[in-house]
Chain A
Amino acid sequence: MSYQSELYQQVILDHNKNPRNFRELTDGTHSCDGKNPLCGDEMTIYLNINDDGIIDDISFQGSGCAISKSSTSMMTTNLKGKSVDEARVMFEEFHKMILGEFDPETQEHHLGKLTIFMGVREFPSRTKCATLPWHTLACALDKKQETSTED
């Protein structure tokens, strides 16, 4: 017998175990430290954005639960090569999807495989785990140094 879960799907577990782009970006153009003080999750997002506003490279480092780690990992794989404007649209859609205010099953979206996190809607105590990387991304794009889910 094992746990059947909408939340912990294989893709999520895989990204938790083998996070992609899990490294520091020493020559990046943007970075931000994100914290979830309730959980103790901490992560840094690094970006390298070129003159055309395209995300050439994106990476992260930090520690956290499976949801925050896999959400960050998948965010990085989905944002590479996208423009800053596209990233902001995806942040908006992802955030609303987690809050249950946006339904990618019926509405047009730009989230790709990130819709796998839709299950987090059913776990209100875990929504901040999934959205932490996106808040940290927005903070990095705004050229701020740090952010917190409690701000």
Chain B
Amino acid sequence: MSNPNKTVSASLDVDKIRQDFPMLSKRINGKPLVYLDNGATTQKPLSVIKRMERFDTEEYATVRRGAYQLGEMATNTYEETRKKLARFLGVEDARQIIFTSGTTQSINLVAYSFGKKYIQSGDEVMISNMEHHANIIPWQTMCEERGATLKIIPINDAGELIMEDYDRLLSSKTKIVAITHVSNALGTINPVKEIVSKAHAVGAKVLLDGAQSTPHMKVDLQDIDCDFYAFSGHKIYGPSGIGVLYGKYELLKEMPPYVTGGEMINVVTLEKTTYAKPPARFEGGTPPITQVIGLGEAVDYLTNIGIEKIDAYERELLAYGTKVLSEIPGLRIIGTAKHKASIISFVLESVHPHDVITLLDQDLVAVRGGHHCAQPVMTRFCVPATTRASMSFYNKYEEIDALAAGIRKVQEVFA
């Protein structure tokens, strides 16, 4: 398949960028890795790997405890990373940045803690039909425990939220709306500013699941004005085991702790404990220190390239991938929203996604097949599973061609 553009992009030197990622030069049996599972986890640039190694070999000590020099320096680096994350999200007050183990824990924290403080019997919580299980189950559990009702915003055939239904479902009973910024299974970019302003108009708070948005686009929380924002380090080229919860300080300071233990306290006697202020209140136990430092380096890496440039190039990749895959007979793209991130979910006529991925894997094309932890999305589109290619700024046009060629070979096997 000829493509006049190949890896040429107006603003990104992809070949040069790829040299930053050791995993991308991996070969097995002489075949290069075609890594298109970035929605699940992203590869790490050498700068992140090296920074963590340097921290562990030269700077490592625990944080916020030791009064000795090394501990204070590590604490300083840790807290500077918090400020870096605040800047990354367009937030001024770094006390609003809580380090968690990932998006899942961030959402669980809010569901538990916000729920305990603010949700009463008869209240309503709203999610949508396109959520990842991590943004469904914590709310189901909380609603069950607090006697609240869970409302679901439906989605249309393109995989977009039906905003008329959102308007209809919102009421003074709605206490919190928890919506994904970008759908992991469909790629849909949701109109988050509109969602937030409408929720605020009825007095509801908003949590946005940013696991799939932060890798692809500039996120300015001052502009979006949501109350909580959650994302994971390992999906934005950082390590796993680390994530972020942003929360507005006036809400966080009223919320009870989620995990109790060391370093989240003010005074402890054997009878009673008074809790530290946020963010320490929500970071009980020794945090994943090295991973925090690694996440900071990943943010630097993205910032140095320029998240707007990344966004622009990934849009080109998405357009190219959509065009190339659409040309394959018997292939149907699931998720055709007007506004999409570089995620393409698809099904093949009479070939199950698990057979697709097993065969693609023989050419070292790594894509995800399954329900993407979003079973209600699969149910909505009446498919058991999809195959998903999720693209990064380090992917090349040729890799999309390799995917398309692989899919055609799969179809030959199953012809």
A interface residues with partner B (beta carbon < 8 Å):
1-3, 5, 7-8, 13, 16-17, 38-42, 63-67, 123, 125-126, 129
Contacts and interface: CB of A to CB of B under 8 A. Distances in A.
A41 to B, nearest CB: 8
A64 B352 contact: yes
Contacts, number: 53
Q: What is the interface residue range for chain B against chain A?
A: 20 to 34
Given A8-B355, A63-B384, A123-B358, A1 B409 contact: yes
A7 B355 CA distance: 10
Interface in B338-366: 350-355, 358-359, 362
A42 B409 CA distance: 27
Interface of B: 350-355, 358-359, 362, 370-371, 375, 378, 384-385, 409-410, 412-414
A8 B352 CA distance: 13
B330 to A, nearest CB: 14
B355 A40 contact: no
Contacts of A8: 355, 359, 413
B414 A13 contact: yes
A40 B358 contact: no
B413 A126 contact: no
Contact of B359 (A5, A39, A40, A63): A5
B360 to A, nearest CB: 9
B414 A39 contact: no
Nearest to B385: A40
Given A3-B362, A40-B378, 20 more contacts: A1-B409, A2-B409, A3-B359, A3-B409, A3-B413, A5-B413, A39-B370, A39-B384, A40-B384, A41-B384, A63-B384, A64-B352, A65-B354, A66-B352, A66-B414, A67-B354, A67-B355, A123-B358, A125-B358, A126-B354
24 contacts: A1-B409, A3-B362, A3-B409, A3-B412, A3-B413, A5-B362, A5-B413, A7-B358, A8-B359, A8-B413, A13-B414, A38-B370, A39-B385, A40-B370, A40-B375, A40-B378, A41-B384, A64-B352, A64-B384, A65-B355, A66-B352, A67-B355, A123-B358, A125-B358
B411 to A, nearest CB: 10
Contact of B355 (A1, A38, A66): A66
B381 to A, nearest CB: 13
Contacts of B350: 17
A17 to B, nearest CB: 8
Nearest to A41: B384
B384 A66 contact: no
B354 A3 contact: no
A119 to B, nearest CB: 11
B410 A3 contact: yes
Contacts of A129: 354
Identify which of B350, B354, B385 gathers the most chain A CB atoms within 10 Å of its CB.
B354
A17 B352 CA distance: 12
A66 B351 contact: yes
B370 A126 contact: no
